[in-house]
Structure 1
Amino acid sequence: MNGIINVYKEQGFTSHDVVAKLRGILKFKKIGHTGTLDPDAVGVLPVCLGKGTKICSMITDWDKTYEAVMLLGTITDTADISGNVLKSSEVNLTEADVLEACESFIGEYMQVPPMYSALKVKGKKLYDYARSGIEVERKARKVVIKSLHVNDIDLEGKQKFVTMTVECSKGTYIRTLCEDIGNKLGCGACMYKLTRKRVGQFCIDDTLTLNQISALVLKGEFESVVKAIDDMFPQYPKLEVTVEGDKLLHNGNKIDLEYKEQFIKQFEGIDFVEGDKLRLYDSNGIFVGVYRVCEGLLTPIQMFYDANE
């Protein structure tokens, strides 16, 4: 079983929990998730199966969309509501203040990863240092907030909330974004709720809960919801090789574009620009791997072919 499924991660589960439960449901060991989602967060978690696990690292590069609820006036050690409150402040802001601060983060900005995160420093995860009371210096990293739309501002109640939809690059911590917005406003803030709405082409409307997946397995219908590996790369042109090219492709060899007429079935309309990526298929139409144009050669980036299958 090879491919990717779009799982709805429920509150209280870690991404690792989801993988462990799926192994039990599917009776299948080769499963991997595509990037951690906080236990309190919910939403889209693409999970790779079989040879699909080879693209886990490639999927983590995809842009993501979140809906976040930010609590103003509260600072915690984890930057979200699950942490210990370090400081509480009165919130005396207007909606215009909030909008201006939020919009100022659109574009590139340097973000310091939170201590309570799975990033590793000297082989140890940051949250392990944090739980031991050790503060580790972290370098700021460039992230991109592609869009930030404020959906709702509630400054009337005892607690003041801002709900926003954020489209961002890989490596963006929404908890830290909330904290940074709060610091800019002068009252502090933490993340109150988080829903991941999209990861690349995977959207929340198409997710399946673990219970739904279990029901599909019992009905023998599970494979119908597994997306093919090559469907993950629709942006890369498709090339099929000739019978003469099969041996090169199946062995993971490079293909010299000087001999493309001999090894490639059809290449009209493809310019083979240096650095471009392509999906390569054998003469039987079986997806073999993702290749890159490099110095006049098609060079494999990731192979998915198994001669024993």
Structure 2
Amino acid sequence: MKSGVILVNKPSGYTSFDIIAILRGVLRERRLGHAGTLDPMASGVLPVLAGTATRAMDLIPDSDKEYIADFKLGASYDTLDTTGRIAESGGKELSESDIRAVLPEFTGEISQLPPMYSAVSVNGVRLYEYARRGEAVKRQERQIRVSRLELTFFDEASQSGRLEIKCSKGTYIRSLIDDIARRAGSLGAMSSLLRTVSHGFRLSECLELEKIRELGSSAWDSLIPTDRLFECYPTVSLGKAQARMYKNGVRLDSGRVSGAVPGILRVYSPEDGFLGLCRVENGELTVYRNFWTR
């Protein structure tokens, strides 16, 4: 069984699940899942997990993501992007300095209200389901982190611009743009979104969807090893007998394993390479998630 990560540059107009459905047909592999949803209007880095790598879905460490977002001032939309319906129009025309003046307020640890058109659940129901029914519900602000927020372009005549953003998981760029525009005294909405970094993978590493279709089953040659998802963890190498015990779920004495520091570690063996993840605590090395296959 082939396992690993296929990096796709998702085109605008496709849902993340559309990409999975296409890849299942092209690669003739059912065991696929994506790590990090992109809205249909967004494009960019979409990591697709294949084979046993799908076991990593709930274990991938949180890391910052990076985006290039275009925006247009003068109106707000129900979806907070220009694919929706206009909710308000107006607001004063802004200068580049008006926008730059408020950006520091949206850098660092900040609170953000998730948009109504989002997959956040309230009382077991997705917010977008409430929105489609025209129902308003109380939403809880969430803490996010914006590490970098840079205005790289602004045209005062068209009242349109571009932001480059590095932020924590769970940040809604649509909401960020709406908040920035309002704080500066206008209205605004996201007009396009490109994700350039996700889970440490960069846009330059991604395959275009049409290229994957063209390659067919040869796209498997572009598979990235599963262990790249866990590069933030230290590594440990097991001997032949220890590796056999690990594969069978046997707990090991961590004192007999060189480099077995407390915490989560990547596990390797000279014969089989990457085996999975382990947890070291209280003098024991236990299987955290086994990715090894025969």
SS at match of 1:138: coil
Cα distance in 1, alignment partners of residues 98 and 249 from structure 2: 57
Aligned residue for 1:140?
A: 141
SS at match of 2:214: helix
Over 6 Å off, 4+ runs = none
C-alpha displacement at 1:301, in angstroms?
Answer: 2.5
Q: Is residue 27 of structure 1 aligned with residue 24 of structure 2?
A: no
- TM-superposition CA deviations, 1:59-94 (whole Å, max 9, x none): 472211000012122111111111111111143323
- TM-superposition CA deviations, 1:243-273 (whole Å, max 9, x none): 3313320122332223x1xxx3xx2xx471x
SS at match of 2:56: helix
Give runs of aligned pairs for residues 176-255 of structure 1, distance below 5 A. 176-217=175-216, 221-255=218-252
Cα distance in 2, alignment partners of residues 50 and 271 from structure 1: 28
Q: Is residue 91 of structure 1 aligned with residue 92 of structure 2?
A: yes
Give runs of aligned pairs for residues 59-98 of structure 1, distance below 5 A. 59=60, 61-98=62-99
- TM-superposition CA deviations, 1:27-84 (whole Å, max 9, x none): 1100001121110111110110011112223347221100001212211111111111
Give runs of aligned pairs for residues 126-137 of structure 1, distance below 5 A. 126-137=127-138
C-alpha displacement at 1:146, in angstroms?
Answer: 0.7
C-alpha displacement at 1:295, in angstroms?
Answer: 2.4
The amino acid across from 1:224 in the alignment is D
Task: Single out whichever of 295-304 and 162-171 deviates more from structure 2.
Answer: 295-304
Aligned residue for 1:38?
A: 39
Whether the aligned pair in 1 keeps the contact of 2:27 and 2:220 (CA below 8 Å) is no
Cα distance in 2, alignment partners of residues 243 and 271 from structure 1: 16
The amino acid across from 2:73 in the alignment is L
* Structure 2: runs of 5+ lacking an equivalent: none
Cα distance in 2, alignment partners of residues 278 and 59 from structure 1: 13
Cα distance in 2, alignment partners of residues 110 and 40 from structure 1: 25
Structure 1 pair 29–271 and aligned structure 2 pair: CA distance change class (3 A): closer
SS at match of 1:25: helix
SS at match of 2:58: helix
Cα distance in 2, alignment partners of residues 203 and 182 from structure 1: 29
Bigger RCO of structures 1 and 2 (CA < 8 A, at least 6 apart): 2
Cα distance in 2, alignment partners of residues 156 and 163 from structure 1: 14
Cα distance in 1, alignment partners of residues 115 and 40 from structure 2: 15
The amino acid across from 2:211 in the alignment is Q
- TM-superposition CA deviations, 1:207-250 (whole Å, max 9, x none): 11222112222xx5322210011122233232221233133201
SS at match of 1:149: strand
SS at match of 2:52: helix
Structure 1 pair 300–135 and aligned structure 2 pair: CA distance change class (3 A): farther
SS at match of 1:147: strand
Cα distance in 1, alignment partners of residues 53 and 24 from structure 2: 15
The root-mean-square deviation of aligned C-alpha atoms, in Å, is 1.7
Cα distance in 1, alignment partners of residues 97 and 278 from structure 2: 49
Share of identical aligned residues, percent? 36
The amino acid across from 1:24 in the alignment is G
SS at match of 1:57: coil
Structure 1 pair 129–167 and aligned structure 2 pair: CA distance change class (3 A): same
Give runs of aligned pairs for residues 114-133 of structure 1, distance below 5 A. 114-133=115-134
TM-score of the superposition, structure 1-length normalised?
0.89
Structure 1 pair 126–287 and aligned structure 2 pair: CA distance change class (3 A): same
SS at match of 2:62: coil
C-alpha displacement at 1:286, in angstroms?
Answer: 3.0
SS at match of 2:9: strand
* Structure 1: runs of 5+ lacking an equivalent: none
Cα distance in 2, alignment partners of residues 98 and 248 from structure 1: 59
